Chains A and B, each alone.
Chain A
């Protein structure tokens, strides 16, 4: 019997100089033809998709330049990761040096970090220059500044998580803007009874311009015939729509037209990215399935599969086509990694990463031969007897059990569970005894002091040894008036006050 011992080993990459490790980014390759369900992509197609993914991500970076707030946020995120001491690859994936691109893991960390900081500084300088131009008009000079920013932004490719966070932020802002612009067009179109394209043409670039109302006046002669009140309503509504647009545009420090153009460029790049990623994903799902099969006996299959899918997605963004190997090389590693991590997450007791794989091996042996001795297991798996002894404890799983879980044995009811057999930490023995003791004392004292009706009424009125009752209820029970009951109660209290137990009772009741 042979057992496949799975090990997650770190990929060892040869570190080189920028000249050695740098690579040229080709122009955007054509979208490969989908080989169809169940078929596998050729290496060339995988590389083409890999380049498409990288280039479209750089395209996203360029498009996002239109919103300086988003750029600042992205830079802050990158800088935070760089200063946190985490691997530099988790801040920036790629940097362009001269005409070559270098990957974070391919050159010494310090060198890459220095490069990253230099690039960020140059982007910040460009941002500062844009910030100096106080009015966000779209002209040659602001365009040149923006081009400068875009060209500098296109020289770094942040870690995918950072990039997508910024992209989400940009998307949200632009969607709002798009909605507001559409509202304005819709409003004018319904108000002036003009088709939307004509209204769009009339607005042109003047989304927030104060001249829009006069353009409307001159372009649509009917407006001149409106009564003054209707004209004012039109103007007020138009202005309120324009203000809404202005509000969104203000934070971006570019004009509404620029931002909308950037948004459409962003969408174009996003489509390339999504198309390439989804083809890569669909045609590499078999990798996930193959690995899920390996681990299927370890845990919930659907959970393992979803972890594997996540691993596949991560691997797609980390794929380095310039290195020349097939996607499965990195894909398998990542999927395996994510599955193992997922399994570890399920366990309450964390085991070192390597031992999880060993545990699988021991489990496999035990499932074949449940009575195997430690020595036998060690022999089959190739592990040290000590390790086997340590891990045997966890073979049954390291997961915990919920207090709310019910017993699944035959004969146990649905409500019977772990909570039934556990001690109630709120219950205290001393107070229990104390309470019982004082109740008996009160009962004895009252019985000795009071008799018959007196005892009955005091107990009923103050709820001693029975539920509390009102004067009326007691009266009805004993066939007495309310007033009489009250009088009898007062008599009883006087009796109690003169008894020898009074002081003790007062300490007890406070």
Chain B
């Protein structure tokens, strides 16, 4: 095997693969599989629950001899990243060592036999659908804030993909807040899958094309693109009925407010909130004020009058400031609409100009 390629191109691809490759020393999964054919370089890395395949076709790639070999992913990435970006890197195999040269630098790296590299095996796909890549990326990222990280209910530690009649719903929740995003114009069959939180980022951003093609296997989800494939194992379990939470209350009270202003107010008031619960509350009425919940043991308090339009009965609703600000941060719209369902019902929060996105926040008892 012998090829040369532009250092910055090679480094960016290697970086993507090295992120997936396992960091636990001493296993085959710490390696990246490098293969070169006629005019294509393929890199494969995996860590047991994810696998990435990246193919590179670029003018700077010059293949002198075809072949496949495995080398330590992290080291490889560090070496190539350290090279000047505008130079070409030459990679060749000699005496079971991978030799990387660039200008006057020369590195020699231990290799591993290709047969020992564990590749994820797939069966026949159960479903396949295509969705606008930019939509998937943007909506997914805003919703992913709500994912649980280490919940005992495994299925909550991930993001739900739910395709129903040409619409893809992305849902994430940790039990106290939930984000749901609707993407229409999806072609493909109805299906459901829960992507683990660790893979969500790669899963959303992997594709380089305008349309992401997603294939679902019994326990795998794959993003297929020209530039490669990204596999992730799925979380098992039945995702709770998120659609039930999206039902708007029968007699709602609505607050419309400027998002950046509300976010800043919430952050300011939260400075005085109790350090465990971060409880703050809306006093809704003719005047809308945001105050610290009375549960602070030290007796610290803060209050701020908010500008906004409120239609509904007078009430007090408490929230965790952390959850509220997280959601306000992830929404990009200028104005948000908050629909309260009494002091105990799930509160809906959505940007006024984007009906696809909606968040549900559980009020705190105050």
Residues of A within 8 A of B (CB): 135, 137, 139-141, 143-144, 147-148, 198, 201-202, 204-205, 215, 219, 257, 261
- Of the listed residues B177, B294, B296, B365, the one surrounded by the most CB atoms of chain A closer than 10 A to its CB is B365
The answer to whether the Cβ of B178 comes within 8 Å of any Cβ in the partner chain is yes
Contact A148 to B244, CB < 8 A, known contacts A140-B173, A140-B178, A201-B297: yes
Chain B: number of interface residues, binned into ranges: 20 to 34
Contacts of B297 in A (CB 8 A): 198, 201-202, 219
Contacts of A257 in B (CB 8 A): 365
Pick from A140, A144, A148, A261: contact of B365, CB below 8 A: A261
Contacts of B296 in A (CB 8 A): 201
Q: Is the CB of B295 within 8 A of A201?
A: yes
- Of the listed residues A137, A144, A204, the one surrounded by the most CB atoms of chain B closer than 10 A to its CB is A144
- The smallest beta-carbon distance between A312 and chain B, in angstroms, is 36
The answer to whether the Cβ of B345 comes within 8 Å of any Cβ in the partner chain is yes
Q: Is the CB of B295 within 8 A of A144?
A: no
**Which residue of chain A lies nearest to B341 when distances are taken between CB atoms in the complex?**
A147
Q: Is the CB of A135 within 8 A of B152?
A: yes
Contact A143 to B295, CB < 8 A, known contacts A148-B244, A204-B277: no
Please give 5 more A-B residue pairs, beta carbons under 8 A apart, in addition to A147-B345, A201-B295, A257-B365: A140-B173, A140-B177, A140-B362, A143-B344, A201-B297
Contacts of A139 in B (CB 8 A): 175-176, 362
- The smallest beta-carbon distance between A30 and chain B, in angstroms, is 16
> How far, in whole Å, are A322 and B46 apart by their CA atoms in the complex?
71
Contacts of A148 in B (CB 8 A): 244
Q: Which 3 residue pairs are nearest across A and B when measured between Cβ atoms?
A: A139-B175, A141-B240, A201-B295
**Which residue of chain B lies nearest to A205 when distances are taken between CB atoms in the complex?**
B365
The prevalent SS among residues of B at the interface is loop
Q: Is the CB of A140 within 8 A of B175?
A: yes
- The smallest beta-carbon distance between A225 and chain B, in angstroms, is 18
> How far, in whole Å, are A201 and B240 apart by their CA atoms in the complex?
32
- The smallest beta-carbon distance between A81 and chain B, in angstroms, is 31
Contacts of B240 in A (CB 8 A): 141
Pick from B153, B241, B274: contact of A144, CB below 8 A: B241
Which residues of B from 250 to 276 have beta carbons under 8 Å from A?
274, 276
The answer to whether the Cβ of B245 comes within 8 Å of any Cβ in the partner chain is yes
The answer to whether the Cβ of B71 comes within 8 Å of any Cβ in the partner chain is no
The answer to whether the Cβ of B351 comes within 8 Å of any Cβ in the partner chain is no
Which residues of B from 138 to 152 have beta carbons under 8 Å from A?
152
Q: Is the CB of A201 within 8 A of B175?
A: no
What are 10 of the A-B contact pairs (CB < 8 Å)? A135-B152, A137-B175, A140-B176, A140-B360, A141-B240, A141-B245, A144-B244, A201-B274, A204-B276, A215-B276
Q: Is the CB of A140 within 8 A of B295?
A: no
Q: Is the CB of A143 within 8 A of B365?
A: no
- The smallest beta-carbon distance between A218 and chain B, in angstroms, is 8
Q: Is the CB of B295 within 8 A of A261?
A: no
The answer to whether the Cβ of B158 comes within 8 Å of any Cβ in the partner chain is no
**Which residue of chain A lies nearest to B362 when distances are taken between CB atoms in the complex?**
A140
The answer to whether the Cβ of B346 comes within 8 Å of any Cβ in the partner chain is yes
